[in-house]
Amino acid sequence: MSELLAHRSKSNMHNSSFDLTLDQITKIEGAAGLDVSVRGGKVVDLRLKLSEYKRFYTQGVRGKSVPAVPQLLARICGTCSNAHILCSIEACEKALGIVPSAQTMIMRRLAINGLMIRDHGLHLYVFALPDLLGKDSILELDENNPKEKQFLEDTFCVKKAGNMLSVAFGGRSVHAPYLTIGGFLKFPSADDLTGCKNFLIKARPAAQRLVKLFSDSQFKFYDQTNFVGLIGENRYDFLEGKIKTSKDGVIEEANFRQHLEHQVIPYSQASGYKFKRETYMVGALARVNLAKEKLNENTIKNVGYVLSRFPSTNVFDNNLAQAIEILHCIDDSLLLLGSNQFNPEKPASTQKKDGVGVGVIEAPRGTLYHMLEIKDNKVARAEIIVPTGQNQISIEKNLVRLVEENIDLDKEQLSHEIEKFVRAYDPCISCATHFLKINFH
């Protein structure tokens, strides 16, 4: 009799019908919402709605003087603003034929490393860690519990190491004022460099613990998708290289846009994109899948035990890949700081006033694209493609399967599974505490 009742209960769940309505999603830059309709145990409609996404920045920069553009476009995001600065600087330089010095490129490498450490640290410690520990918030960690106290100390240590790099080479951790077209406006002091080294060394064991923590995670959701990212020729690089994919080979970054299919999503203000008519994924998981052998040799030495997992199709391994990247960025920065001196120099310049330039870099959440058409030293046209937009269709597609595969869970558990899954993509984050709250009708 109990087996019969269990069968009937399960059958009823598979035939269940309900709606999930989310008015606003936090932890995503701007406003977003989620609507799901389930009928007879199947998702008949699911809409991930991203609103206030670009906020007309591509229109707002038209007619603006080129030197002002990188700082203007940085305001697209308060979290990864320095990625937008670096990407738009590259677009401006390529449009006008400006060639930055070798020292400038090393300093930019350190600036992006600082962003990666800080941004990945925020996501992993503050937003993803509570899921692993069965907590609702990092604020619930107990300082009297040695393990949880260590996590709290690691959180501040890693984030400070990233912030110090960003301040030393950018002037601020966000909206960095030192970064400019052709070079830098100000250079780090000896004290700045010493402070960065000391905190990077201090943060390194914390990063190793973070890798181990996420390597032990049992969260799984597999997606046989195409992984896409900017991959350096000789090293693990966020700023220079070619677009590599897990299915289609290598593409010059200037030609990246030609392979993207713009998707109008009528219920969302954000643009979606497909790569050669297929969904794809960008971000740390894509980068480690495509270039794990290019990681810093010290990183490989310490986390080689987990690199055999890659290439991975488990979306939750995006968190593990971010942890690996934190360690890589620490090791790469220590290498650069130990082998370079940074002497003041004037930014490279040109007399050219017209051109079209494409900037492609890896932001924390994936491949970032800026195109600028410049006429008479002013922007005539601009296009920006951000990582969350590129992942949007993939997230939406996979949410359908996630809901259907977990249809037997009660509403609270199902809600939590949705939260964990969307967090794994690390969509562009604000500083709110929860990803979403779902109302069931």
Domains of the chain in start order, with CATH, are: 2-52+407-440 (no CATH), 57-391 (1.10.645.10)
3-state SS, residue 8: helix
Question: How far is the C-alpha of 205 from the C-alpha of 101, rounded, in Å?
Answer: 33
Helical packing angle, 387-405 and 411-424, nearest 10°: 150
* Residues linked to residue 278 through DSSP beta bridges, in sequence order: 275
pLDDT at 428: 74
> 333-360 as b/e, with b when 16 or more CB fall inside 10 Å?
bbeebeeeebeeeebeeeeeeebebbbb
Successive 10-residue mean pLDDT values, the chain, 441 residues: 37 61 46 77 83 66 94 85 96 97 98 97 92 89 92 96 97 94 97 96 98 96 96 96 92 93 74 89 98 98 95 98 98 97 96 96 96 96 90 92 88 82 77 36 46
3-state SS, residue 45: strand
Question: How far is the C-alpha of 238 from the C-alpha of 109, rounded, in Å?
Answer: 8
- Is the distance from CB of 256 to CB of 358 less than 8 angstroms? yes
Residue with tokens 């780090």: 188
pLDDT at 20: 61
Q: Read off the tokens for 293.
A: 């052998």
pLDDT at 60: 84
Question: Does residue 311 have a cis peptide bond before it, meaning omega lies within 30 degrees of 0?
Answer: yes
- Is the distance from CB of 92 to CB of 372 less than 8 angstroms? yes
Q: CA dihedral in degrees (306, 307, 308, 309; nearest 10)? A: 70
> 107-117 as b/e, with b when 16 or more CB fall inside 10 Å?
bbbbbbbbbbb
The DSSP output letter for 151 is H
- In the Cβ-directed half-sphere of 256, how many Cα atoms lie within 13 Å? 27
- Is the distance from CB of 275 to CB of 228 less than 8 angstroms? yes
pLDDT at 8: 36
Question: How far is the C-alpha of 159 from the C-alpha of 1, rounded, in Å?
Answer: 57
- In the Cβ-directed half-sphere of 182, how many Cα atoms lie within 13 Å? 14
Per-residue H/E/C for 331-369: HHHHHHHHHCCCCCCCCCCCCCCCEEEEEEEEECCEEEE
Q: CA dihedral in degrees (120, 122, 125, 126; nearest 10)? A: -150
pLDDT at 6: 37
- Is the distance from CB of 392 to CB of 50 less than 8 angstroms? yes
- Is the distance from CB of 158 to CB of 210 less than 8 angstroms? yes
pLDDT at 419: 81
